[in-house]
Chains A and B, each alone.
Chain A
Amino acid sequence: DVKVTQSSRYLVKRTGEKVFLECVQDMDHENMFWYRQDPGLGLRLIYFSYDVKMKEKGDIPEGYSVSREKKERFSLILESASTNQTSMYLCASTPGRDYGYTFGSGTRLTVV
């Protein structure tokens, strides 16, 4: 089975801190995605990547950046964490355009 691993299950950070969320997949998937999930708002796409060193903005990229230096790793960066970035962050990967995603177990980030 494809495994998508997110480095932290729970994270508490202070306002203004730079935060790194790491995601690693072990099945040589081309495409990787970062979503956040909030009650009443559902899953919203932050950034995605279809290749190494490639990134595309999703629907809510403001306040975030990403890095994909290696195929298996896709990092989400909160440049200066704010309380409105408190959320569940989900990483996903897929081998190609018409395939479903496999999600990681998620990182619940709290910014205080």
Chain B
Amino acid sequence: QKEVEQNSGPLSVPEGAIASLNCTYSDRVSQSFFWYRQYSGKSPELIMSIYSNGDKEDGRFTAQLNKASQYVSLLIRDSQPSDSATYLCAPQRGSQGNLIFGKGTKLSVKP
């Protein structure tokens, strides 16, 4: 089983729609979870963190965490063409504390 699994995409959504990005992880001890956005040719940029089960909202972004199912997701409301990027899920490794990155989901928002 891979440590972090994400659908590679591309996920294509029309402008104004909700984009839903999903991630599963294998480390049951993980306590902290992060979402990064990476534009082509750029380095990853932190956009959301979540530590407790449930939803966390920040502007157009909502992160959802279910530790029992080892599942974390990111919703982007009112998607814009500028949201087109690769989104990386990164749970914290329970034993060492460093982040394990998924390979990312490529999102394309069509005008």
Spell out A's residues near B (CB within 8 Å): 33, 35, 40-43, 45, 48, 50, 56, 58, 90, 97-106
Contact = CB atoms under 8 A, between A and B. Distances in A.
Interface in B51-91: 51, 88, 90
Contacts of A106: 42-43
Query: DSSP class of B's interface residues: helix, strand, loop or mixed?
Result: loop
Contact of A43 (B45, B49, B51, B101): B101
Interface of B: 31-32, 34, 36, 42-46, 49, 51, 88, 90, 92, 96-104
Given A43-B88, A102-B46, A103-B43, A97 B103 contact: no
Nearest to A56: B96
Contacts, number: 48
B46 A41 contact: no
A97 B101 contact: no
Contacts of B31: 98
Contacts of B49: 99-100
21 contacts: A35-B101, A40-B103, A41-B103, A42-B104, A43-B44, A43-B88, A45-B98, A48-B96, A48-B98, A56-B96, A58-B98, A90-B43, A97-B97, A98-B32, A99-B49, A100-B36, A100-B46, A100-B90, A102-B46, A103-B43, A104-B43
